[in-house]
Chain A
Amino acid sequence: MINYEELLNENIRKVKPSGIRKFFDIANEMEDVISLSVGEPDFTTPWHVRAAGIESLEKGRTWYTPNRGFAELRSEISNYYKRRFNVEYSAEKEVLVTVGGSEAIDLCIRSLVSPGDEVLIPQPCFVCYEPMTCLAGGVPVIIETKAEDEFRLTPEQLEEKITDKTKLLILPFPNNPTGAVMKREHLEGIAEVLRKHNIIVLSDEIYAELNYGEERHVSFAEIEGMKEKTVVVNGFSKSYAMTGWRLGYALGPAELIAKMTIVHQYAIMSAPTTAQYAAIEALKNGDEDIEKMRSEYDLRRRLMVSSFRRMGFDCFEPEGAFYVFPCIKNTGLTSDEFCSRLIREKHVAVVPGTAFGESGEGYVRVSYSYSIAHIREALKRIQEFLEDIKK
Protein backbone atom coordinates (compact mmCIF):
# COMPACT_ATOMS: atom_id res chain seq x y z
CA MET A 1 0.00 0.00 0.00
CA ILE A 2 1.31 3.39 -0.94
CA ASN A 3 1.04 6.01 1.75
CA TYR A 4 0.06 8.95 -0.38
CA GLU A 5 -0.09 11.29 2.55
CA GLU A 6 3.65 10.85 3.01
CA LEU A 7 4.34 11.58 -0.64
CA LEU A 8 2.36 14.77 -0.72
CA ASN A 9 3.88 18.18 -0.83
CA GLU A 10 4.12 19.51 2.71
CA ASN A 11 2.15 22.63 1.86
CA ILE A 12 -0.82 20.80 0.40
CA ARG A 13 -0.92 18.70 3.55
CA LYS A 14 -1.50 21.86 5.54
CA VAL A 15 -4.67 22.63 3.62
CA LYS A 16 -7.58 20.90 5.29
CA PRO A 17 -10.64 19.88 3.31
CA SER A 18 -13.45 22.31 3.98
CA GLY A 19 -16.07 21.11 6.47
CA ILE A 20 -18.77 22.83 4.49
CA ARG A 21 -18.83 20.09 1.85
CA LYS A 22 -20.70 17.80 4.24
CA PHE A 23 -23.40 20.38 4.61
CA PHE A 24 -23.61 20.97 0.88
CA ASP A 25 -23.95 17.24 0.28
CA ILE A 26 -26.98 17.09 2.57
CA ALA A 27 -28.53 20.03 0.76
CA ASN A 28 -27.83 18.63 -2.68
CA GLU A 29 -29.42 15.29 -1.87
CA MET A 30 -32.59 16.78 -0.47
CA GLU A 31 -35.56 17.28 -2.77
CA ASP A 32 -37.48 20.56 -2.58
CA VAL A 33 -34.67 22.50 -0.95
CA ILE A 34 -35.07 26.23 -1.11
CA SER A 35 -31.55 27.41 -1.37
CA LEU A 36 -30.21 30.84 -0.49
CA SER A 37 -26.68 29.57 -0.63
CA VAL A 38 -25.18 30.13 -4.05
CA GLY A 39 -22.40 32.57 -4.75
CA GLU A 40 -23.21 33.46 -8.32
CA PRO A 41 -25.76 35.55 -10.21
CA ASP A 42 -29.16 34.04 -11.03
CA PHE A 43 -29.20 36.06 -14.25
CA THR A 44 -27.90 34.42 -17.37
CA THR A 45 -25.22 36.18 -19.39
CA PRO A 46 -26.82 39.00 -21.43
CA TRP A 47 -27.82 37.74 -24.85
CA HIS A 48 -25.61 40.04 -26.93
CA VAL A 49 -22.61 38.81 -24.94
CA ARG A 50 -23.52 35.16 -25.49
CA ALA A 51 -24.06 35.94 -29.17
CA ALA A 52 -20.53 37.31 -29.47
CA GLY A 53 -19.19 34.04 -28.05
CA ILE A 54 -21.38 32.02 -30.41
CA GLU A 55 -20.31 34.10 -33.39
CA SER A 56 -16.65 33.51 -32.62
CA LEU A 57 -17.34 29.75 -32.60
CA GLU A 58 -19.28 29.93 -35.84
CA LYS A 59 -16.34 31.63 -37.44
CA GLY A 60 -14.08 28.89 -36.16
CA ARG A 61 -12.04 31.11 -33.85
CA THR A 62 -10.96 28.23 -31.70
CA TRP A 63 -7.24 28.80 -31.15
CA TYR A 64 -5.18 29.90 -28.16
CA THR A 65 -4.98 33.61 -27.61
CA PRO A 66 -1.77 35.47 -26.71
CA ASN A 67 -0.66 34.55 -23.16
CA ARG A 68 -1.77 37.86 -21.72
CA GLY A 69 -5.12 37.74 -23.53
CA PHE A 70 -6.29 39.40 -26.74
CA ALA A 71 -4.88 42.90 -27.20
CA GLU A 72 -8.38 44.20 -27.89
CA LEU A 73 -9.69 42.73 -24.66
CA ARG A 74 -6.81 44.17 -22.63
CA SER A 75 -7.43 47.52 -24.21
CA GLU A 76 -11.16 47.33 -23.37
CA ILE A 77 -10.33 46.34 -19.78
CA SER A 78 -8.03 49.31 -19.55
CA ASN A 79 -10.76 51.63 -20.95
CA TYR A 80 -13.23 50.16 -18.52
CA TYR A 81 -11.11 50.81 -15.43
CA LYS A 82 -10.55 54.36 -16.59
CA ARG A 83 -14.24 54.89 -17.40
CA ARG A 84 -15.76 53.33 -14.29
CA PHE A 85 -13.10 53.71 -11.62
CA ASN A 86 -10.81 56.44 -12.87
CA VAL A 87 -7.60 54.39 -12.80
CA GLU A 88 -5.35 54.15 -15.84
CA TYR A 89 -3.56 50.95 -16.78
CA SER A 90 -1.42 50.30 -19.82
CA ALA A 91 -3.11 47.62 -21.92
CA GLU A 92 0.31 46.37 -23.05
CA LYS A 93 2.09 46.03 -19.76
CA GLU A 94 -0.28 46.25 -16.85
CA VAL A 95 -3.19 43.97 -17.76
CA LEU A 96 -3.29 40.17 -17.62
CA VAL A 97 -6.37 38.17 -18.63
CA THR A 98 -6.88 35.12 -16.40
CA VAL A 99 -9.14 32.13 -15.79
CA GLY A 100 -11.53 33.92 -13.47
CA GLY A 101 -10.54 36.25 -10.69
CA SER A 102 -9.57 33.02 -8.96
CA GLU A 103 -6.52 32.48 -11.13
CA ALA A 104 -5.49 36.11 -10.77
CA ILE A 105 -5.53 35.67 -6.97
CA ASP A 106 -3.45 32.50 -7.27
CA LEU A 107 -0.91 34.15 -9.59
CA CYS A 108 -0.54 37.18 -7.38
CA ILE A 109 0.01 35.14 -4.23
CA ARG A 110 2.37 32.68 -5.91
CA SER A 111 4.42 35.43 -7.53
CA LEU A 112 4.91 37.36 -4.31
CA VAL A 113 4.89 35.01 -1.36
CA SER A 114 8.04 33.14 -0.32
CA PRO A 115 8.13 30.55 2.48
CA GLY A 116 7.70 32.32 5.80
CA ASP A 117 6.21 35.50 4.33
CA GLU A 118 3.12 36.72 6.11
CA VAL A 119 -0.10 37.45 4.28
CA LEU A 120 -2.70 39.56 6.06
CA ILE A 121 -6.22 38.28 5.48
CA PRO A 122 -9.26 40.10 6.83
CA GLN A 123 -11.94 37.55 7.75
CA PRO A 124 -14.76 36.65 7.26
CA CYS A 125 -13.82 36.46 3.60
CA PHE A 126 -13.93 34.41 0.44
CA VAL A 127 -12.31 31.04 1.00
CA CYS A 128 -9.33 30.91 -1.34
CA TYR A 129 -6.78 33.37 0.09
CA GLU A 130 -5.77 31.29 3.09
CA PRO A 131 -5.15 27.95 1.32
CA MET A 132 -3.39 29.72 -1.56
CA THR A 133 -1.07 31.37 0.93
CA CYS A 134 -0.35 28.01 2.56
CA LEU A 135 0.37 26.43 -0.82
CA ALA A 136 2.98 29.08 -1.43
CA GLY A 137 4.54 28.29 1.94
CA GLY A 138 3.37 31.62 3.32
CA VAL A 139 1.86 32.24 6.71
CA PRO A 140 -1.74 33.47 6.76
CA VAL A 141 -2.28 36.13 9.41
CA ILE A 142 -5.96 36.54 10.06
CA ILE A 143 -7.48 39.91 10.95
CA GLU A 144 -11.01 39.56 12.29
CA THR A 145 -13.29 42.29 11.03
CA LYS A 146 -16.08 43.24 13.41
CA ALA A 147 -19.79 43.90 13.10
CA GLU A 148 -19.34 47.13 15.07
CA ASP A 149 -16.90 48.32 12.37
CA GLU A 150 -19.42 47.26 9.73
CA PHE A 151 -17.00 44.46 8.86
CA ARG A 152 -14.42 46.89 7.53
CA LEU A 153 -10.71 46.55 8.02
CA THR A 154 -9.58 49.38 10.29
CA PRO A 155 -6.16 51.10 10.13
CA GLU A 156 -5.55 50.18 13.78
CA GLN A 157 -6.16 46.48 13.16
CA LEU A 158 -3.87 46.60 10.16
CA GLU A 159 -1.07 48.44 11.94
CA GLU A 160 -1.20 45.95 14.80
CA LYS A 161 -0.64 42.92 12.57
CA ILE A 162 2.13 44.26 10.36
CA THR A 163 5.56 42.75 11.05
CA ASP A 164 8.78 42.86 9.08
CA LYS A 165 7.70 39.56 7.51
CA THR A 166 4.47 40.99 6.10
CA LYS A 167 4.50 40.69 2.32
CA LEU A 168 0.92 41.04 1.20
CA LEU A 169 -2.39 42.44 2.38
CA ILE A 170 -5.58 40.98 0.95
CA LEU A 171 -8.25 43.65 0.60
CA PRO A 172 -11.47 41.81 -0.27
CA PHE A 173 -14.12 44.52 -0.66
CA PRO A 174 -17.02 44.59 -1.49
CA ASN A 175 -16.88 41.53 0.69
CA ASN A 176 -18.16 38.01 0.31
CA PRO A 177 -19.78 36.97 2.73
CA THR A 178 -20.50 40.13 4.74
CA GLY A 179 -21.45 42.54 1.95
CA ALA A 180 -19.24 45.17 3.59
CA VAL A 181 -17.69 47.89 1.44
CA MET A 182 -14.74 50.18 2.08
CA LYS A 183 -15.54 53.75 1.10
CA ARG A 184 -12.98 56.30 0.06
CA GLU A 185 -12.41 57.56 3.60
CA HIS A 186 -11.83 54.01 4.88
CA LEU A 187 -9.40 53.23 2.06
CA GLU A 188 -7.55 56.47 2.81
CA GLY A 189 -7.04 55.23 6.36
CA ILE A 190 -5.58 51.95 5.15
CA ALA A 191 -3.38 53.79 2.63
CA GLU A 192 -2.04 56.02 5.41
CA VAL A 193 -0.74 52.94 7.24
CA LEU A 194 0.66 51.35 4.09
CA ARG A 195 2.65 54.44 3.13
CA LYS A 196 5.00 53.59 5.98
CA HIS A 197 5.54 50.01 4.86
CA ASN A 198 6.74 48.01 1.92
CA ILE A 199 3.68 45.82 1.48
CA ILE A 200 1.78 44.87 -1.65
CA VAL A 201 -2.02 44.91 -1.65
CA LEU A 202 -4.18 42.39 -3.47
CA SER A 203 -7.42 44.30 -3.96
CA ASP A 204 -10.11 41.77 -4.87
CA GLU A 205 -12.67 43.99 -6.58
CA ILE A 206 -14.74 41.22 -8.17
CA TYR A 207 -17.94 42.73 -6.70
CA ALA A 208 -17.04 46.31 -7.65
CA GLU A 209 -20.13 46.78 -9.78
CA LEU A 210 -22.47 45.45 -7.12
CA ASN A 211 -22.35 48.45 -4.87
CA TYR A 212 -25.55 49.96 -3.50
CA GLY A 213 -24.45 52.98 -1.53
CA GLU A 214 -24.56 56.60 -2.65
CA GLU A 215 -20.91 56.46 -3.61
CA ARG A 216 -19.70 54.15 -6.38
CA HIS A 217 -17.02 51.59 -5.75
CA VAL A 218 -13.62 53.16 -5.20
CA SER A 219 -10.69 51.12 -6.43
CA PHE A 220 -7.84 50.93 -3.95
CA ALA A 221 -5.50 51.75 -6.84
CA GLU A 222 -7.18 55.14 -7.16
CA ILE A 223 -6.02 56.22 -3.70
CA GLU A 224 -3.00 58.53 -3.82
CA GLY A 225 0.23 56.56 -4.07
CA MET A 226 -1.43 53.15 -3.88
CA LYS A 227 -1.44 52.15 -7.54
CA GLU A 228 2.22 51.16 -7.44
CA LYS A 229 1.58 48.93 -4.41
CA THR A 230 -1.61 47.29 -5.64
CA VAL A 231 -2.59 44.32 -7.74
CA VAL A 232 -6.26 44.70 -8.62
CA VAL A 233 -8.22 41.50 -9.24
CA ASN A 234 -11.51 41.68 -11.08
CA GLY A 235 -13.47 39.66 -13.61
CA PHE A 236 -16.64 39.06 -15.51
CA SER A 237 -18.32 36.49 -13.25
CA LYS A 238 -20.36 38.73 -11.01
CA SER A 239 -20.76 41.99 -12.90
CA TYR A 240 -21.85 40.44 -16.21
CA ALA A 241 -23.29 37.17 -14.87
CA MET A 242 -20.53 35.17 -16.57
CA THR A 243 -19.35 32.72 -13.91
CA GLY A 244 -19.25 29.71 -16.21
CA TRP A 245 -17.12 31.44 -18.83
CA ARG A 246 -14.21 31.55 -16.38
CA LEU A 247 -12.72 34.90 -17.18
CA GLY A 248 -11.07 37.50 -15.00
CA TYR A 249 -8.03 39.72 -14.93
CA ALA A 250 -5.27 41.28 -12.89
CA LEU A 251 -4.12 44.89 -13.13
CA GLY A 252 -0.92 46.08 -11.55
CA PRO A 253 2.63 47.37 -11.85
CA ALA A 254 4.29 46.15 -15.05
CA GLU A 255 7.03 44.25 -13.21
CA LEU A 256 4.55 42.25 -11.15
CA ILE A 257 2.20 41.58 -14.05
CA ALA A 258 5.20 40.34 -16.07
CA LYS A 259 6.06 37.78 -13.38
CA MET A 260 2.44 36.73 -12.98
CA THR A 261 2.31 36.29 -16.74
CA ILE A 262 5.18 33.83 -16.52
CA VAL A 263 3.31 31.64 -14.05
CA HIS A 264 0.14 31.97 -16.12
CA GLN A 265 1.98 31.14 -19.34
CA TYR A 266 3.33 27.87 -17.95
CA ALA A 267 0.31 26.82 -15.91
CA ILE A 268 -2.53 27.88 -18.21
CA MET A 269 -1.18 29.11 -21.58
CA SER A 270 -4.09 31.46 -22.17
CA ALA A 271 -7.57 32.11 -20.78
CA PRO A 272 -10.53 30.60 -22.69
CA THR A 273 -10.77 32.03 -26.21
CA THR A 274 -14.55 32.03 -26.63
CA ALA A 275 -14.94 33.75 -23.29
CA GLN A 276 -12.50 36.46 -24.36
CA TYR A 277 -14.57 37.27 -27.44
CA ALA A 278 -17.70 37.47 -25.31
CA ALA A 279 -15.93 39.65 -22.76
CA ILE A 280 -14.93 42.20 -25.39
CA GLU A 281 -18.61 42.61 -26.24
CA ALA A 282 -19.53 42.83 -22.54
CA LEU A 283 -17.08 45.66 -21.93
CA LYS A 284 -18.05 47.53 -25.09
CA ASN A 285 -21.82 47.34 -24.75
CA GLY A 286 -22.63 45.99 -21.32
CA ASP A 287 -22.84 49.01 -18.99
CA GLU A 288 -26.63 48.95 -19.19
CA ASP A 289 -26.80 45.27 -18.32
CA ILE A 290 -24.76 45.92 -15.21
CA GLU A 291 -27.13 48.67 -14.12
CA LYS A 292 -30.23 46.54 -14.72
CA MET A 293 -28.90 43.67 -12.64
CA ARG A 294 -27.59 45.97 -9.95
CA SER A 295 -30.93 47.67 -9.43
CA GLU A 296 -32.68 44.31 -9.31
CA TYR A 297 -30.24 43.04 -6.66
CA ASP A 298 -30.77 46.25 -4.73
CA LEU A 299 -34.54 45.63 -4.42
CA ARG A 300 -33.91 42.14 -3.13
CA ARG A 301 -31.23 43.36 -0.76
CA ARG A 302 -33.62 45.82 0.83
CA LEU A 303 -36.31 43.18 1.08
CA MET A 304 -33.94 40.78 2.81
CA VAL A 305 -32.46 43.22 5.28
CA SER A 306 -35.84 44.54 6.30
CA SER A 307 -37.30 41.02 6.62
CA PHE A 308 -34.44 39.77 8.78
CA ARG A 309 -34.67 42.84 10.99
CA ARG A 310 -38.41 42.42 11.33
CA MET A 311 -37.83 38.84 12.42
CA GLY A 312 -35.67 40.23 15.20
CA PHE A 313 -32.20 39.48 13.81
CA ASP A 314 -29.44 41.97 14.17
CA CYS A 315 -28.67 42.53 10.50
CA PHE A 316 -26.00 44.92 9.38
CA GLU A 317 -26.86 46.69 6.13
CA PRO A 318 -24.57 45.33 3.44
CA GLU A 319 -23.73 47.79 0.69
CA GLY A 320 -22.07 45.44 -1.74
CA ALA A 321 -22.04 41.97 -3.37
CA PHE A 322 -25.26 39.91 -3.13
CA TYR A 323 -25.24 38.60 0.42
CA VAL A 324 -26.69 39.59 3.75
CA PHE A 325 -24.94 38.43 6.88
CA PRO A 326 -27.43 38.44 9.74
CA CYS A 327 -26.32 37.73 13.30
CA ILE A 328 -28.06 34.64 14.67
CA LYS A 329 -26.62 34.71 18.18
CA ASN A 330 -29.96 35.53 19.79
CA THR A 331 -31.35 32.16 18.69
CA GLY A 332 -28.91 30.50 21.10
CA LEU A 333 -27.63 28.31 18.26
CA THR A 334 -24.19 28.22 16.70
CA SER A 335 -23.91 28.99 12.99
CA ASP A 336 -23.53 25.31 12.20
CA GLU A 337 -26.49 24.29 14.35
CA PHE A 338 -28.65 27.02 12.88
CA CYS A 339 -27.87 25.98 9.31
CA SER A 340 -28.16 22.22 9.89
CA ARG A 341 -31.47 22.57 11.68
CA LEU A 342 -32.84 25.04 9.16
CA ILE A 343 -32.10 22.70 6.30
CA ARG A 344 -33.41 19.61 8.07
CA GLU A 345 -36.51 21.18 9.50
CA LYS A 346 -37.49 23.70 6.83
CA HIS A 347 -35.41 22.66 3.82
CA VAL A 348 -33.85 26.07 3.50
CA ALA A 349 -30.13 26.23 2.80
CA VAL A 350 -28.02 29.15 4.01
CA VAL A 351 -24.28 29.02 4.70
CA PRO A 352 -22.78 29.09 8.21
CA GLY A 353 -20.58 32.15 8.72
CA THR A 354 -17.81 29.87 9.95
CA ALA A 355 -17.28 28.64 6.39
CA PHE A 356 -15.58 32.02 5.84
CA GLY A 357 -13.35 31.94 8.89
CA GLU A 358 -13.80 31.44 12.61
CA SER A 359 -14.84 35.03 13.06
CA GLY A 360 -17.99 34.17 11.10
CA GLU A 361 -19.31 32.32 14.15
CA GLY A 362 -22.70 33.68 15.13
CA TYR A 363 -23.57 34.70 11.57
CA VAL A 364 -24.97 33.10 8.45
CA ARG A 365 -24.53 34.08 4.83
CA VAL A 366 -27.74 34.47 2.91
CA SER A 367 -27.54 35.05 -0.82
CA TYR A 368 -30.15 37.16 -2.58
CA SER A 369 -29.15 36.03 -6.00
CA TYR A 370 -32.65 34.58 -6.44
CA SER A 371 -36.06 35.74 -7.67
CA ILE A 372 -38.23 37.72 -5.31
CA ALA A 373 -40.80 34.91 -5.20
CA HIS A 374 -38.08 32.44 -4.20
CA ILE A 375 -36.71 34.79 -1.56
CA ARG A 376 -40.16 35.38 -0.07
CA GLU A 377 -40.85 31.66 0.25
CA ALA A 378 -37.48 31.08 1.91
CA LEU A 379 -37.99 33.98 4.31
CA LYS A 380 -41.41 32.64 5.24
CA ARG A 381 -39.85 29.31 6.16
CA ILE A 382 -37.09 30.99 8.17
CA GLN A 383 -39.79 32.87 10.09
CA GLU A 384 -41.56 29.56 10.83
CA PHE A 385 -38.25 28.07 11.92
CA LEU A 386 -37.73 30.91 14.39
CA GLU A 387 -41.17 30.38 15.86
CA ASP A 388 -40.44 26.67 16.25
CA ILE A 389 -37.17 27.42 18.05
CA LYS A 390 -38.85 29.77 20.49
CA LYS A 391 -41.38 27.12 21.52
Chain B
Amino acid sequence: MDKLISLLYEDSSLSVEELSAMLNESEEDIKKRIEEYKKSGVILGKKTFINWDKVENSGVTALIELKVTPQKETGFDEIAARISEFTEVDTVHLMAADNYDLLVTVRGKSIQDVAMFVSRRLATIDAVQSTATHFLLKRYKENGVELTDEEKDQRSMML
Protein backbone atom coordinates (compact mmCIF):
# COMPACT_ATOMS: atom_id res chain seq x y z
CA MET B 1 0.00 0.00 0.00
CA ASP B 2 1.10 3.56 -0.68
CA LYS B 3 2.83 4.94 2.43
CA LEU B 4 1.39 8.38 1.65
CA ILE B 5 -2.08 7.01 2.35
CA SER B 6 -1.12 5.35 5.61
CA LEU B 7 0.66 8.47 6.86
CA LEU B 8 -2.32 10.69 6.06
CA TYR B 9 -4.67 8.17 7.59
CA GLU B 10 -2.70 8.35 10.81
CA ASP B 11 -2.48 12.13 10.84
CA SER B 12 -4.23 14.35 8.35
CA SER B 13 -2.42 17.42 9.65
CA LEU B 14 0.92 16.37 8.18
CA SER B 15 2.06 19.12 5.87
CA VAL B 16 3.21 18.66 2.29
CA GLU B 17 6.66 19.71 3.46
CA GLU B 18 6.75 17.02 6.13
CA LEU B 19 5.39 14.34 3.83
CA SER B 20 7.89 15.27 1.18
CA ALA B 21 10.74 14.91 3.65
CA MET B 22 9.53 11.63 5.07
CA LEU B 23 8.82 9.98 1.74
CA ASN B 24 11.77 11.50 -0.09
CA GLU B 25 9.59 12.88 -2.89
CA SER B 26 9.36 16.44 -4.14
CA GLU B 27 6.67 18.67 -2.67
CA GLU B 28 5.15 19.04 -6.16
CA ASP B 29 4.81 15.28 -6.49
CA ILE B 30 3.21 14.96 -3.09
CA LYS B 31 0.74 17.75 -3.89
CA LYS B 32 -0.09 16.19 -7.21
CA ARG B 33 -0.61 12.78 -5.71
CA ILE B 34 -2.86 14.07 -2.98
CA GLU B 35 -4.93 15.92 -5.61
CA GLU B 36 -5.27 12.72 -7.61
CA TYR B 37 -6.35 10.78 -4.55
CA LYS B 38 -8.97 13.41 -3.90
CA LYS B 39 -10.22 13.36 -7.47
CA SER B 40 -10.51 9.60 -7.60
CA GLY B 41 -12.35 9.51 -4.30
CA VAL B 42 -9.62 7.78 -2.29
CA ILE B 43 -9.26 10.76 0.02
CA LEU B 44 -12.73 11.88 0.96
CA GLY B 45 -12.09 14.51 3.59
CA LYS B 46 -10.78 15.22 7.05
CA LYS B 47 -12.71 14.67 10.22
CA THR B 48 -11.89 15.08 13.87
CA PHE B 49 -11.20 11.83 15.62
CA ILE B 50 -13.39 11.69 18.70
CA ASN B 51 -13.56 9.31 21.60
CA TRP B 52 -17.35 9.15 22.01
CA ASP B 53 -17.03 7.43 25.37
CA LYS B 54 -15.71 10.70 26.74
CA VAL B 55 -18.36 12.95 25.24
CA GLU B 56 -21.29 13.75 27.51
CA ASN B 57 -24.73 12.87 26.14
CA SER B 58 -23.21 11.28 23.10
CA GLY B 59 -25.92 8.60 23.13
CA VAL B 60 -25.55 4.94 22.26
CA THR B 61 -24.14 3.01 19.36
CA ALA B 62 -25.38 -0.32 18.07
CA LEU B 63 -24.25 -2.79 15.45
CA ILE B 64 -27.18 -4.26 13.52
CA GLU B 65 -26.92 -7.41 11.49
CA LEU B 66 -29.40 -7.44 8.64
CA LYS B 67 -30.34 -10.47 6.62
CA VAL B 68 -31.40 -9.16 3.24
CA THR B 69 -32.93 -10.66 0.09
CA PRO B 70 -30.76 -9.51 -2.79
CA GLN B 71 -32.61 -7.71 -5.59
CA LYS B 72 -32.68 -8.93 -9.15
CA GLU B 73 -30.58 -6.33 -10.92
CA THR B 74 -28.88 -4.50 -8.09
CA GLY B 75 -28.12 -7.23 -5.57
CA PHE B 76 -27.52 -5.57 -2.21
CA ASP B 77 -26.53 -2.15 -3.55
CA GLU B 78 -29.94 -0.53 -3.72
CA ILE B 79 -30.96 -1.63 -0.23
CA ALA B 80 -27.61 -0.56 1.16
CA ALA B 81 -27.98 2.85 -0.46
CA ARG B 82 -31.44 3.27 1.00
CA ILE B 83 -30.23 2.40 4.48
CA SER B 84 -27.26 4.74 4.12
CA GLU B 85 -29.61 7.67 3.67
CA PHE B 86 -30.79 7.60 7.28
CA THR B 87 -28.88 10.16 9.34
CA GLU B 88 -29.01 7.74 12.31
CA VAL B 89 -26.86 5.34 10.32
CA ASP B 90 -23.12 5.75 10.68
CA THR B 91 -21.72 2.89 8.60
CA VAL B 92 -23.11 0.29 6.21
CA HIS B 93 -20.98 -2.69 5.20
CA LEU B 94 -21.73 -5.74 3.08
CA MET B 95 -20.26 -8.76 4.84
CA ALA B 96 -19.24 -12.24 3.93
CA ALA B 97 -20.88 -13.83 6.95
CA ASP B 98 -22.83 -16.94 7.87
CA ASN B 99 -26.23 -15.65 8.73
CA TYR B 100 -26.49 -12.02 7.73
CA ASP B 101 -25.51 -9.73 4.85
CA LEU B 102 -25.35 -6.12 5.91
CA LEU B 103 -23.71 -4.80 9.07
CA VAL B 104 -25.03 -1.38 9.99
CA THR B 105 -23.81 0.95 12.72
CA VAL B 106 -26.54 3.09 14.20
CA ARG B 107 -26.19 5.93 16.66
CA GLY B 108 -29.11 7.16 18.74
CA LYS B 109 -29.98 9.07 21.90
CA SER B 110 -30.94 5.98 23.89
CA ILE B 111 -31.38 2.23 23.65
CA GLN B 112 -35.09 2.75 23.08
CA ASP B 113 -34.37 5.26 20.40
CA VAL B 114 -32.14 2.83 18.51
CA ALA B 115 -34.54 -0.07 19.03
CA MET B 116 -37.39 2.00 17.63
CA PHE B 117 -35.32 3.01 14.64
CA VAL B 118 -34.48 -0.59 13.89
CA SER B 119 -37.97 -1.91 14.23
CA ARG B 120 -39.68 0.96 12.41
CA ARG B 121 -37.16 1.90 9.74
CA LEU B 122 -34.96 -1.08 9.05
CA ALA B 123 -37.08 -4.14 9.83
CA THR B 124 -39.94 -2.77 7.75
CA ILE B 125 -37.96 -2.64 4.52
CA ASP B 126 -39.37 -5.39 2.28
CA ALA B 127 -36.08 -7.01 1.44
CA VAL B 128 -34.98 -7.17 5.08
CA GLN B 129 -35.71 -10.65 6.37
CA SER B 130 -34.40 -10.29 9.89
CA THR B 131 -32.37 -8.07 12.20
CA ALA B 132 -30.13 -8.67 15.21
CA THR B 133 -29.09 -5.69 17.33
CA HIS B 134 -25.91 -5.50 19.46
CA PHE B 135 -25.27 -2.54 21.71
CA LEU B 136 -21.76 -1.22 22.11
CA LEU B 137 -20.63 -0.91 25.74
CA LYS B 138 -17.07 0.38 25.62
CA ARG B 139 -14.52 1.41 23.02
CA TYR B 140 -10.97 0.15 23.49
CA LYS B 141 -9.50 0.89 20.10
CA GLU B 142 -10.78 2.75 17.11
CA ASN B 143 -9.28 3.61 13.70
CA GLY B 144 -6.05 1.98 14.78
CA VAL B 145 -5.74 4.03 17.94
CA GLU B 146 -5.90 2.62 21.45
CA LEU B 147 -8.30 4.67 23.52
CA THR B 148 -7.35 3.45 26.95
CA ASP B 149 -5.22 5.91 28.89
CA GLU B 150 -1.78 5.91 27.46
CA GLU B 151 0.98 4.33 29.49
CA LYS B 152 3.76 6.68 30.42
CA ASP B 153 7.00 6.27 28.50
CA GLN B 154 8.98 4.05 30.84
CA ARG B 155 12.30 4.36 29.10
CA SER B 156 14.97 6.09 31.11
CA MET B 157 17.34 8.62 29.71
CA MET B 158 20.36 6.76 28.61
CA LEU B 159 23.33 7.52 26.48
Cα A168 to Cα B23 with chains together (Å)? 41
Given contacts A302-B24, A305-B21, contact A37 B157 (CB under 8 A): yes
Contact between chains at B157 and A35 (CB < 8 Å): yes
Given contacts A372-B10, A372-B11, A373-B11, contact A24 B157 (CB under 8 A): yes
Q: How many Å from the CB of B38 to the closest CB on chain A?
A: 22
Q: How would residues 9 to 22 of chain B score, 1 for a CB under 8 Å from any chain A CB and 0 otherwise? A: 01100100110111
Contact between chains at A40 and B155 (CB < 8 Å): yes
Q: How would residues 293 to 333 of chain A score, 1 for a CB under 8 Å from any chain B CB and 0 otherwise? A: 00000011011011100100000000000000000000000
Q: How many Å from the CB of B106 to the closest CB on chain A?
A: 32
Q: How would residues 108 to 119 of chain B score, 1 for a CB under 8 Å from any chain A CB and 0 otherwise? A: 000000000000
Q: Indicate if A355 sits at the interface (CB-CB under 8 A).
A: yes
18 pairs from A and B in contact (CB 8 Å cutoff):
A20-B159, A27-B157, A35-B157, A38-B153, A38-B157, A39-B158, A40-B155, A126-B159, A299-B22, A302-B24, A303-B21, A306-B17, A306-B20, A307-B18, A307-B21, A351-B159, A372-B7, A372-B14
Q: Indicate if B87 sits at the interface (CB-CB under 8 A).
A: no
For A303, the chain B residues whose CB sits under 8 A away are 18, 21-22
Contact between chains at B21 and A302 (CB < 8 Å): yes
For B157, the chain A residues whose CB sits under 8 A away are 24, 27-28, 35, 37-38, 349, 351
Known pairs A24-B157, A299-B22, A372-B7; list 6 more (Cβ under 8 Å). Answer: A37-B157, A38-B157, A40-B155, A306-B20, A355-B159, A356-B159
For A349, the chain B residues whose CB sits under 8 A away are 157
Cα A325 to Cα B10 with chains together (Å)? 27
Which chain B residues (5-64) contact chain A, with CB distance < 8 Å?
7, 10-11, 14, 17-18, 20-24
Q: Indicate if B156 sits at the interface (CB-CB under 8 A).
A: yes
Cα A127 to Cα B158 with chains together (Å)? 10
- Chain A: interface secondary structure? helix
Which chain A residues (7-55) contact chain B, with CB distance < 8 Å?
18, 20, 24, 27-28, 35, 37-40, 42
Contact between chains at A39 and B21 (CB < 8 Å): no
Contact between chains at B155 and A42 (CB < 8 Å): yes
Q: How many Å from the CB of B51 to the closest CB on chain A?
A: 16
Cα A373 to Cα B3 with chains together (Å)? 16
Contact between chains at B10 and A38 (CB < 8 Å): no
For B18, the chain A residues whose CB sits under 8 A away are 303, 306-307, 376
Cα A372 to Cα B14 with chains together (Å)? 10
Contact between chains at A38 and B156 (CB < 8 Å): yes
Cα A310 to Cα B3 with chains together (Å)? 23
Contact between chains at A299 and B23 (CB < 8 Å): yes
For B158, the chain A residues whose CB sits under 8 A away are 38-40
- B3's nearest neighbour on chain A, judged by CB, is A299
- Total B residues in contact with A, Cβ cutoff 8 Å: 18
Contact between chains at B155 and A302 (CB < 8 Å): no
For B22, the chain A residues whose CB sits under 8 A away are 299-300, 302-303
For A176, the chain B residues whose CB sits under 8 A away are 159
Q: How many Å from the CB of A313 to the closest CB on chain B?
A: 14
- A372's nearest neighbour on chain B, judged by CB, is B11
- B13's nearest neighbour on chain A, judged by CB, is A376
Cα A28 to Cα B155 with chains together (Å)? 11
Q: How would residues 356 to 369 of chain A score, 1 for a CB under 8 Å from any chain B CB and 0 otherwise? A: 10000000000000
For B3, the chain A residues whose CB sits under 8 A away are 299
Contact between chains at B11 and A127 (CB < 8 Å): no
10 smallest beta-carbon distances between A and B, as pairs? A306-B21, A299-B22, A24-B157, A39-B158, A38-B155, A302-B21, A37-B157, A127-B159, A303-B22, A302-B22
Contact between chains at A35 and B153 (CB < 8 Å): yes
Q: How many Å from the CB of B150 to the closest CB on chain A?
A: 11
Cα A37 to Cα B159 with chains together (Å)? 8
Cα A28 to Cα B152 with chains together (Å)? 12
Which chain B residues (100-146) contact chain A, with CB distance < 8 Å?
none
- B15's nearest neighbour on chain A, judged by CB, is A376
Q: How many Å from the CB of A307 to the closest CB on chain B?
A: 7
Cα A355 to Cα B158 with chains together (Å)? 11
Cα A126 to Cα B159 with chains together (Å)? 7
Give the one of B14, B156, B159 with max A CB within 10 A. Answer: B159
Q: How many Å from the CB of A294 to the closest CB on chain B?
A: 14
For A372, the chain B residues whose CB sits under 8 A away are 7, 10-11, 14
